[in-house]
């Protein structure tokens, strides 16, 4: 049997076809042919999620049906809160989300329904866990759009302008071709495991600091900065030590992450409305210095973390928010994988000892 060697980490290797999302030759992210930033600016979360999962923007009837499915599945069974009560109070929210998703009962019958039911429940799981770990009672309202409901469950506020920015952010996080968590889900799906198990696998992969876990660490250094000059000195010092600065660099985007630039402009206006112009200036100073010194662009996580902070969303939610949004992309990839399936089983080159005997 002949083997073909590929780059470590599968960098630049095409492993399959997909009709869901891609980046074009200019680095523009597209969902089913539509530019992601245009969708974020002009569409609702439900419309884009329907597009990603089913391949087309919904008409009025389809939009209502899809929204109703998410709404009716936005609650969790009472015994889930009881299970949460048995978990360590200091457990990371992403760990709790993964554990609950792996075991919770589902009501939908078809694969797409099961996947969307899991995705619909994620905001409630996150909210209930956060409040339970703080000794507060769960929030029970499920009114409004998906984004409005999500924002309320995260903050207890019904501020529609903040919820709209969260909606845009969620749309931009929804899908990004064969990223680590999506590929993990597709490997699991290729074994023909059930949707719940595949989602659990994806949630395990998204936690890592080289993937979804990066956005939770950005505020750790950003909020310590007192001025733009201090921010530039921080970058210079980190680079001299050859240390990584979270929120910068991307396997795909070498010149700019279009999602980051979209959020940067939204943040400029949002920060001014919140009286946080200084934080915006510090962030852009860090971005400018990184580009000047290393030609490394800010990625979406960098500006997303600041947006979420100014929305009043606890930073422990950052990775779970990413996961909740990406779960709709995972849904599309699970369905695409099983519709034309072949077990994903690469080979390896053995470099260990041989000829060993007892």
Q: Where are the beta strands (DSSP E) in 148-250?
A: none
The token pair at 100 is 């609950």
Lay out the sheet containing 21-23: strands in order across.
21-23, 29-31, 34-35
| Cβ contact 232:289 at 8 Å | yes
Average pLDDT over residues 158-181: 96
Average pLDDT over residues 114-139: 95
Q: Give the span between the Cα atoms of 322 and 212, in whole angstroms.
A: 7
Tell me: pLDDT of 251 over 80.
Answer: no
Element (H, E) at 253: none
The token pair at 321 is 């928010």
Element (H, E) at 308: helix 300-310
Tell me: pLDDT of 253 over 90.
Answer: no
The token pair at 82 is 């009881």
Share of the chain above pLDDT 90, in %: 80
Tell me: pLDDT of 147 over 80.
Answer: yes
pLDDT value at position 209? 81
Mean pLDDT of the chain: 93
pLDDT value at position 216? 63
Q: Burial level of 164, CB count in 10 A (0-12/13-18/19+)?
A: middle
Average pLDDT over residues 6-23: 88
- Dihedral class, residue 156 (left if φ above 0, else alpha if ψ from -120 to 50, else beta): left
Share of the chain above pLDDT 70, in %: 97
pLDDT tens by residue, 182-229: 999 999 999 999 999 999 999 999 998 877 766 667 888 899 999 999
pLDDT value at position 1? 59
* Top-confidence residue, 39 or 12: 39
pLDDT tens by residue, 317-354: 999 999 999 999 999 999 999 999 999 999 888 999 99
Residue 73 CB contacts under 8 Å (≥ 6 apart), including other chains: 107, 108, 116, 117, 120, 121
The token pair at 244 is 């990584």
Strand-pair partners of 117 = none
Tell me: pLDDT of 3 over 90.
Answer: no
Q: Give the span between the Cα atoms of 40 and 344, in whole angstroms.
A: 33
| Cβ contact 21:29 at 8 Å | yes
Which structural domains are found in the chain, ordered by start? Answer: 18-345 (1.10.580.10)
Q: What angle do CA 241, 246, 251 make, to 5 degrees?
A: 105
pLDDT value at position 232? 96
pTM of the model: 0.94
Q: Where are the beta strands (DSSP E) in the chain?
A: 21-23, 29-31, 34-35
Residues carrying an active site annotation:
211, 250, 301
Tell me: pLDDT of 67 over 70.
Answer: yes
Average pLDDT over residues 76-88: 91
Tell me: pLDDT of 63 over 70.
Answer: yes
Residue 340 CB contacts under 8 Å (≥ 6 apart), including other chains: none
Residue 287 CB contacts under 8 Å (≥ 6 apart), including other chains: 248, 264, 297, 298, 302
């Amino acid at each position: 049997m002949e083997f073909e060697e590929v780059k470590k980490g599968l960098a630049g290797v095409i492993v399959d076809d997909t009709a869901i999302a891609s980046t074009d030759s200019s680095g523009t992210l597209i969902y089913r042919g539509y530019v992601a930033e245009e969708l974020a600016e002009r569409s609702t979360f439900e419309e884009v999620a329907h597009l990603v999962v089913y391949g087309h923007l919904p008409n009025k009837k389809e939009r209502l049906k899809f929204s109703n499915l998410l709404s009716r599945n936005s609650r969790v069974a009472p015994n889930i809160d009881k299970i949460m009560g048995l978990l360590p109070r200091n457990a990371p929210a992403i760990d709790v989300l993964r554990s609950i998703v792996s075991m919770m009962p589902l009501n939908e019958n078809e694969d797409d329904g099961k996947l969307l039911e899991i995705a619909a429940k994620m905001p409630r799981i996150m909210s209930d866990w956060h409040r339970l770990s703080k000794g507060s009672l769960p929030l029970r309202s499920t009114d409004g759009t998906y984004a409005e409901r999500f924002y309320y469950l995260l903050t207890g506020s019904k501020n529609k302008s903040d919820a709209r920015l969260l909606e845009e952010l969620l749309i931009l996080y929804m899908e990004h071709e064969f990223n680590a968590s999506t590929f993990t889900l597709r490997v699991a799906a290729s074994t023909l495991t059930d949707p719940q198990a595949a989602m659990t696998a994806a949630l395990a992969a998204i936690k890592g600091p080289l993937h979804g876990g990066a956005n939770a660490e950005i505020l750790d250094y950003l909020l310590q900065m007192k001025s733009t000059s201090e921010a530039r000195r921080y970058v210079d010092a980190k680079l001299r030590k050859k240390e990584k600065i979270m929120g910068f660099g991307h396997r795909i985007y070498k010149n700019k992450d279009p999602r980051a630039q979209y959020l940067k402009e939204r943040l400029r206006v949002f920060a001014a409305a919140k009286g946080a112009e200084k934080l915006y200036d510090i962030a852009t100073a860090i971005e400018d210095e990184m580009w000047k010194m290393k030609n490394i662009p800010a990625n979406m996580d960098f500006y997303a973390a600041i947006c979420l902070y100014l929305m009043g969303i606890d930073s422990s939610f950052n990775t779970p928010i990413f996961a909740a949004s990406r779960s709709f992309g995972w849904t599309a990839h699970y369905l695409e994988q099983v519709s034309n399936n072949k077990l994903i089983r690469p080979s390896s080159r053995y470099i260990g000892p041989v000829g060993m005997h007892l």
